Amino acid sequence: MPLITYREAIRHALAEELERDKNVVVLGEEVAQFHGAYKVTEGLLEKFGPKRIVDTPISEAGFIGMGVGASMLGIRPVMELMFWSFYSVAFDQILNNAANVRYMSGGLINCPIVIRGPANGGTNVGATHSHTPENVLANHPGVKVVVPSTPYDAKGLLKSAIRDNDPVFFLENTILYGDKGEVPADEYLIPLGLADVKREGSDLTIVTYGRCVLHSLAAAELLQKEHDISVEVVDLRSIRPLDIDTVLASVAKTHRVLIVEEQKPFSSVGSQLAFMIQKEAFDELDGPIHRLTTVDAPAIYSPPVEIEQLPNPQRIIKAALEALQ
Amino acid sequence: MPSPVNKKPSATADAKAADSAQSASPALSAPINQQLTKADKIALFTTMMRIRRFEERSLRAYQAKKIGGFLHLYIGQEAVAVGCCSLMGKNDHVITAYRDHGHAIAVGMGLNEQMAELYGKATGCSKGKGGSMHFFAPDRNYWGGHGIVGGQIPLGTGLAYALKYKGLKGAAMAFMGDGAVNQGAVHEAYNLASLWQLPVIFVIENNGYSMGTSQERSSAGDLGKRAAGYDMAWASCDGHDVYDVRATMDKFLQLAREESKPAVVEIRTYRYRGHSVADPDNTYRPKAEIEEYRKTKDPIQVFQQALVAEGVLTDALIESIDQAARAEAEAAAEFAEASPFPTPDDIQKDVYWEADNPAERKSQGRLFFD
């Protein structure tokens, strides 16, 4: 199977969907001539031309709102946010207009847009560029929220997102763009809302998503080697819709849960998960649900300290050992 | 005072003066108005009257506590929506803000489904899920009905983008109030529309007050002229004169459809009622000003007098149109009253396309949470 990067996987998904559906159009800052701020869209302008691959001004409220309006008439815009952190300047368009228009019109209008871009800390860009808004987004009924951790998942999920008739917010990770993984040459789709058990285990379930999946897998390896603890790692892949059944099945197997996320703790995705697990699998739990998040402060700049602010394998190991006490 | 044209309503103006001034509306000679038949003119007048009577009836329903939330009445501004929407071809689209009933009637939505929406009934145009500020009729190219000031303007630009992308000869009319012109989203939309030459006309319905703040206290400079900064064509016109609205808008609609050119049109108008019916309207403008407009500039009166002078309307016909509009509004209220409310089971319908189309659902997992 070909080994390609997370960046290439996303690019391939875009190219395949652009090829398949003439209503798909890619819009965003620097996506065309510049080849993408993170080179995700490199080569697409040359292949598909300026009508399909469109550089926008730095004007998120304008161009995202424009994409929402165009989607109401049947265009399928895939809009790149250079950073998901910039969603704040387009909040009204994303979460009032895209999220609500179907409901407020009594189901008469659809909004088949995708907004994609990186949402992560860990690159020393400070508090304004390090937001992880998946909890904020998923708090709005009407939207779907996807956070892929591997090249394989990124490609299959993005293709599904582009074909979806509801607005899908696709949160990538700048640190993962260069990571390689096996991706089939033949076309495949991964349905939104289907979690993936990335590692099987019997002592502890780590529920996680995004880059924290990789940290959790590294921690699981060390926990096995150094502590003889068998960890199961469940990658949610999609926040909304949410595959809680896979999580609950794992809890029923291990009876111990650690949630790992790059969110700030207050009202995070993990908060919702913890509520659902205790509600639906109370009798399966042998101890309280534990959670490891980003340390609760705006993203610090200082490079060595930011590593400690975010979840990392060492912090996960410590949290896992606590969860097993 | 709201705007140059409206600044000094003639203190001596009376119905007669308005009559003679109006019968000579310079805009009547515009080709788009010359091609109006007698029946067309009566239809325009009738639609304006239907808006007026619908709004008056909805106000009474609000006062009777049949309607919740906000109610922003279009009374006084009828010539704007009717004039603009009367020009729509099959690829022309409309989007507006929360003062949206007039546009809905002007694009041909029935009064029943609108009144039922105000009553929060399942038979409403949005099944009771949108309310007064969120009317939609995509089958009539009417895309709402939006609650956040200026938030609909990028969407309207997107309608135009879609038209151009698909190679359709049409135009989008994106309506906003004079309060919206200071929102960033509006300026971002102006820039995109001009940069990409999108067939959108930004229509500023300048009624002089953004809620309770007059134009002079909220906006620097001429509202329409801001278009020049974005290298867009612009114009102002008299929103009390449906002929002028049509003549002005027609030029820009042609440019949009044929040459994919955007424009800004400021239409000077006036609302007699408060910002919403919750606005007691006793702090920010003199009552005499409202009365002055009612007496000398009322768009229905102005048009009525013009049509009488043209020999199109007679007193008997006016009376019958008015009575029919009142009866239709009353029947709409009865329809709304008799209609069922949505049920609690309906709350989670129309949220996701996939949830409403389970046979075609591709995703898995939970979409809703408790």
pLDDT higher than 90, residue B21: no
Q: Could you tell me if B165 lies within 8 Å of chain A, comparing CB atoms?
A: yes
pLDDT at B268: 98
- CB B364 to CB A166 under 8 A? no
Q: Which chain B residues are closer than 8 Å to A56 by Cβ?
A: 192
Rounded distance, CA B291 to CA B133, Å?
A: 27
Predicted ipTM? 0.96
pLDDT value of residue B8: 37
Do residues A302 and A125 lie in contact, with contact meaning Cβ atoms separated by under 8 Å?
no
Taking an 8 Å cut-off on Cβ atoms, the answer to whether A62 and B188 are in contact is yes
Please say if A129 is a catalytic residue. Answer: yes
pLDDT at residue B186 greater than cutoff 50: yes
Contact B227, B259 (CB under 8 A): no
Q: Give A299's DSSP letter.
A: P
Average of per-residue pLDDT across B222-230:
97
Q: What is the pLDDT of residue A8?
A: 98
Domains and CATH numbers, chain B: 15-360 (3.40.50.970)
Note the pTM of the prediction, 2 decimals: 0.95
Q: Report the distance separating Cα B100 and Cα B146, nearest Å.
A: 8
Asked if B365's CB is within 8 angstroms of A238's CB, the reply is: yes
Q: Which of A66, A271, A273 to mutate to test the interface with B (most CBs of B within 10 A)?
A: A66
Enter the DSSP assignment of A322.
H
Confidence grade of residue A220 (pLDDT, cut at 50, 70, 90)? very high
Q: What are the strands of the beta sheet with B263-268, ordered from one edge?
A: B93-95, B172-177, B200-206, B263-268, B233-238
Q: Whose CA is closest to B212, among B293, B290, B284?
A: B284
In chain B, the residue whose alpha carbon lies closest to the alpha carbon of A90 is B185
State the Cα–Cα distance between residues B117 and A202, nearest whole angstrom.
55
pLDDT band at B200 (very low <50, low <70, confident <90, very high): very high
**Helices (H), ranges, chain B:** 4-7, 15-23, 31-34, 38-63, 78-85, 101-106, 111-118, 152-166, 184-195, 215-218, 226-229, 242-259, 287-296, 299-309, 315-338, 353-356
**Among the listed residues B153, B165, B195, the one whose alpha carbon sits nearest the alpha carbon of residue A69:** B153
Query: What confidence category does residue B17 fall into, taking pLDDT thresholds of 50, 70 and 90?
Result: very low
Which stretch of DSSP H or E encloses residue A12? helix A6-20
Check whether B13 has a pLDDT greater than 90: no
Residues 6+ apart with CB under 8 A from B94: B84, B85, B88, B103, B107, B141, B142, B143, B172, B173, B175
Share of chain B above pLDDT 90, in %: 91
Q: Could you tell me the CA-to-CA distances from B13 to A30, A114, B20, B241, B292 in Å, in that order?
A: 58, 57, 11, 16, 9
**One-character DSSP codes across B225-288:** THHHHTT-EEEEEETT-HHHHHHHHHHHHHHHHHH---EEEEEE---SS-SSTT----SSS-HH
Burial of A189 (0-12, 13-18, 19+ CB in 10 A): middle
pLDDT of B147 over the 60 cut: yes
Range B221-233 average pLDDT:
97
Q: Does the pLDDT at position A101 exceed 50?
A: yes
Gap between the Cα atoms of A149 and A209, Å rounded:
7
Residue B14 has pLDDT above 50, yes or no: no
Report the C-alpha gap between A308 and A304 in whole angstroms.
7
The band of A316, judged by pLDDT with boundaries at 50, 70 and 90, is: very high
For residue B4, the model assigns a pLDDT of 40
**A82: its two tokens:** 């250079």
**What distance in Å separates the CA atoms of residue A290 and residue A254, rounded to the nearest whole number?**
14
Residue B65 has pLDDT above 90, yes or no: yes
Residue B6 has pLDDT above 70, yes or no: no
A72: Cβ contacts below 8 Å, ≥ 6 apart: A101, A109, A110, A111, B138, B143, B155, B158, B159, B162
Phi, psi torsion values for B266, nearest 5 degrees:
-95, 120
Q: Does residue A310 carry a pLDDT above 90?
A: yes
SS3 state of residue A24: strand
**Interface contact flag, B362 A59, Cβ < 8 Å:** no
Structure token digits, residue B333: 């209220």
> Which amino acid does the sequence have at A202?
S
Q: Which residues of A touch B146 (CB under 8 A)?
A: 97
Q: Does A258 touch chain B (CB under 8 A)?
A: no
Question: Which pLDDT band, with edges at 50, 70 and 90, does B20 fall under?
Answer: very low
Q: What is the distance between the alpha carbons of residues A130 and A147, in angstroms, rounded to a whole number?
A: 15
Instruction: Mutation target for A interface from B95, B121, B367, B368: give the one with most A CBs within 10 A.
Output: B367
Dist. CA B111–CA A105, nearest whole Å? 16
- Banded model confidence at residue B7, pLDDT cuts 50, 70, 90: very low
Dist. CA B203–CA B234, nearest whole Å: 10
Find the catalytic residue in A12, A129, A131, A290: A129
Residues B136, A105 contacting (CB under 8 angstroms): yes
Percent of chain A with pLDDT over 90: 100
Average pLDDT of chain A, as a whole number = 98
Strands A257-260 and A231-235 come out as unpaired
Q: Which residues contact B115 (CB under 8 A, 6 or more apart)?
A: B54, B57, B58, B61, B329, B332, B333, B335, B336
Residue B23: predicted pLDDT: 52
CB B86 within 8 A of CB B33: no
Taking only the tens place, the pLDDT of each residue in A192-208 is: 999 999 999 999 999 99
Q: Compute φ and ψ for A172, nearest 5 degrees.
A: -100, -165
Identify whether the C-beta of residue B121 lies closer than 8 Å to the C-beta of residue B128: yes
Give the pLDDT confidence of A258-286 residue by residue, as tens digits. Answer: 999 999 999 999 999 999 999 999 999 99
Mutate to test the interface with A, among B123, B165, B186, B192 (most CBs of A within 10 A): B165
